């Protein structure tokens, strides 16, 4: 759930506050603020301390870093009114995407999907294409967040994966068909991730993969 930008922002670092003020769209500001609050709530729950004890970097186009804690890694994602946050003691990537009927589906498929993946769209209805697209999108972007400091989206099409058993996986995708969004997590410990879903929200499908 997103929080209003009128909420108390005193816990934000100077860098985060500057980044917040540079965001022109109100909804985008709400997403940024809510993500930073969720990250701190997770840190307090898992590690301890108060929300104001934690500082997170805010450089545009780069992954967030927990200042002063090189042993901790965090990843954030938001789409529409949904938020996701992952915390680990090793590099980790999480991505969430919602379906969007206004999106140029064919252009995005050509941009992020390799030839094998593009074949997965043959014969699908528009609704099914949207669902398949956001699942693949989250897979690729979660990989970038796990492996890259500065995101190079030109690499998306070159990434390849295979379906595997849970024990082999370094990638898990949860598909929420009824809510029309997908969420992927890339982690060395993807199979043992401690996942907490919001009340009345549970995935319709869980898919395990391994990158090639």
Looking at residue 4, its pLDDT comes to 56
Helix (H, G, I), strand (E, B) or coil at 119: helix
Tokens 């528009």 belong to which residue? Answer: 126
What would the DSSP string read from start to end of 196-211?
-PPTT---SEEEEEEE
What is the pLDDT, as a whole number, of residue 191? 86
Please, what is the average pLDDT of the chain?
90
Q: Output the CA torsion sign for 155, 160, 165, 168.
A: negative
What does the pLDDT look like over 88-97, one tens digit per residue? Answer: 999 999 999 9
Q: Which residue has the tokens 């870093």?
A: 65
191-197: average pLDDT: 88
pLDDT at position 3 over 80 = no
Determine contact, residues 147/113, Cβ cutoff 8 Å.
no
Question: b/e per residue, 147-175, with b = 16+ CB within 10 A?
Answer: eeeeeeeeebbebebeeeeeeebbbbbbb
């Amino acid at each position: 759930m997103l929080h209003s930008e009128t909420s108390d922002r005193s816990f934000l670092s100077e860098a985060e506050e500057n980044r917040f003020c540079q965001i022109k769209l109100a909804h985008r500001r709400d997403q940024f603020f809510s993500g930073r609050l969720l990250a701190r709530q997770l840190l307090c729950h898992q590690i301890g301390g108060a929300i104001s004890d934690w500082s997170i970097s805010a450089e545009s186009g780069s992954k967030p870093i927990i200042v002063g804690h090189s042993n901790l890694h965090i990843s954030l994602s938001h789409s529409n009114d949904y938020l996701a946050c992952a915390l680990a003691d090793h590099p980790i990537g999480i991505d969430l995407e919602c379906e969007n009927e206004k999106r140029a589906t064919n252009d995005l498929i050509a941009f992020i999907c390799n030839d094998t993946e593009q074949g997965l769209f043959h014969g699908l209805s528009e609704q099914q294409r949207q669902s398949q697209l956001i699942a693949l999108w989250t897979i690729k972007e979660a990989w970038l967040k796990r492996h890259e400091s500065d995101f190079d989206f030109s690499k998306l099409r070159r990434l390849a994966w295979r379906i595997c058993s849970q024990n082999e996986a370094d990638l898990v995708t949860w598909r929420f068909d009824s809510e029309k969004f997908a969420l992927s997590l890339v982690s060395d410990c993807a199979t043992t991730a401690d996942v907490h879903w919001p009340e009345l929200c549970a995935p319709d499908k869980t898919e395990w993969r391994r990158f090639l």
